[in-house]
Amino acid sequence: MDYGFQGRVAVVTGGSSGIGLATVRTLLGSGARVALCARNEGRLADVAAVLKRDFGAERVLATALDVLDEAAVEAFAVEVAAAFGGCDLLVNNAGQGRISTFADTGDADWRAELDLKLFSQIRPVRAFLPMLREARGAIVAVNSLLAYQPEPHMVCTSAARAGVQNLLKSLSVELAPAVRVNSVLLGLVGSGQWTRRFAEREDKSQSREAWYAALAARKGIPLGRLGDPEEAAAAIAFLGSPAASYITGAQLEVSGGLSRHI
């Protein structure tokens, strides 16, 4: 599907795997030039080589960095400006969940989780904001349904995700009308942590499809399955595209109907 990114520049954090990589490929497929970053330098180099082969080296910029490193993120923004001349879309995707209850979450874990979830949004937004303002661009944050529907075994992440959603709503007002700010709220998507948990399953004879189906039934997902990274990427691309030009401060659920709030 063409989301209208011809001639536009997108930046994707956490872009070397899972939803981030699916988003990079979706945006490239829709005509964008894409700069992606991730912490794992080796994996990022391998991914970048494939992307350059498939979409052209002149349309891909890949830089290894930690989004919590303020100087590195600022340097990345300078690199993107030099290579592509600006930024029309920032996709903040870095960060994963922490499994813990209130009883077994220490102060250091709380601080680490809040730091990761909030500053993985704050640092890229701060670095790319001048370019986004100039382009009258968009920010799309990848957040979780936990922001509105917390899980007791993910108490720390749930609280941090709610804080992120509040931050995004504030930014959507403060940065308007120059920059639109929206988010996707993910349910269970079959990438990253769920791939690892499948590998750690007790019954090694159980197929991925059967394990995911059992998980979906246990979690009460009405559509009866986990989402695909490409389905999340499609929602991200839409919110960042010209087709969503009158949408800001919104959140789009990609959860297979898992949400129970209205």
Q: What is the CATH number of the domain that holds 30?
A: 3.40.50.720
* List of E strands, the chain: 9-13, 33-38, 60-64, 89-92, 138-144, 180-186, 251-254
Contacts of 200 (CB under 8 A, 6+ apart): none
Query: Do 152 and 210 fall into the same domain?
Result: no
Q: What pLDDT does 243 receive?
A: 97
Query: Do 104 and 47 fall into the same domain?
Result: yes
Cα 206 to Cα 198: distance, rounded to the nearest angstrom: 9
Query: Do 172 and 222 fall into the same domain?
Result: no
> What are φ and ψ of residue 63, in 5° steps?
-135, 130
Compute the mean pLDDT over every residue in the chain, rounded to the nearest whole number. Answer: 95
Query: Do 214 and 148 fall into the same domain?
Result: no
Inter-residue contact 3 to 30 (CB < 8 Å)? yes
pTM for the whole thing? 0.95
Query: Do 113 and 218 fall into the same domain?
Result: no
Q: What domain range is 155 assigned to?
A: 9-187+227-253
Query: Do 83 and 205 fall into the same domain?
Result: no
Query: Do 51 and 117 fall into the same domain?
Result: yes
pLDDT tens, position by position, 154-191: 899 999 999 999 999 999 999 999 999 999 999 999 87
**Both tokens of residue 193?**
């942590």
Better-scored residue on pLDDT, 230 or 208: 230
pLDDT tens, position by position, 30-78: 999 999 999 999 999 999 999 999 999 999 999 999 999 999 999 999 9
Query: Do 167 and 240 fall into the same domain?
Result: yes
Inter-residue contact 218 to 148 (CB < 8 Å)? no
The answer to whether position 57 is within a domain reads yes
Q: What pLDDT does 262 receive?
A: 79
Task: Give alpha helix (H) positions in 30-106.
Answer: 41-55, 70-84
Asked whether residue 194 carries a pLDDT value surpassing 80, the answer given is: no
Residue 4, CA distances (Å) to 27, 98, 114, 245 in order = 9, 36, 35, 12
| Angle, CA 19 vertex, CA 225 and CA 219 arms, to 5° | 30
The answer to whether position 13 is within a domain reads yes
Number of domains in the chain: 2
The answer to whether position 259 is within a domain reads no
The answer to whether position 63 is within a domain reads yes
The answer to whether position 56 is within a domain reads yes
Residue range 228-251: mean pLDDT, rounded: 97
Q: Is the dihedral of CA 145, 149, 152, 157 positive or negative?
A: positive
Query: Do 220 and 234 fall into the same domain?
Result: no
The answer to whether position 261 is within a domain reads no
Cα 59 to Cα 105: distance, rounded to the nearest angstrom: 43
pLDDT tens, position by position, 66-116: 999 999 999 999 999 999 999 999 999 977 778 889 999 999 999 999 999
| Angle, CA 95 vertex, CA 162 and CA 123 arms, to 5° | 80
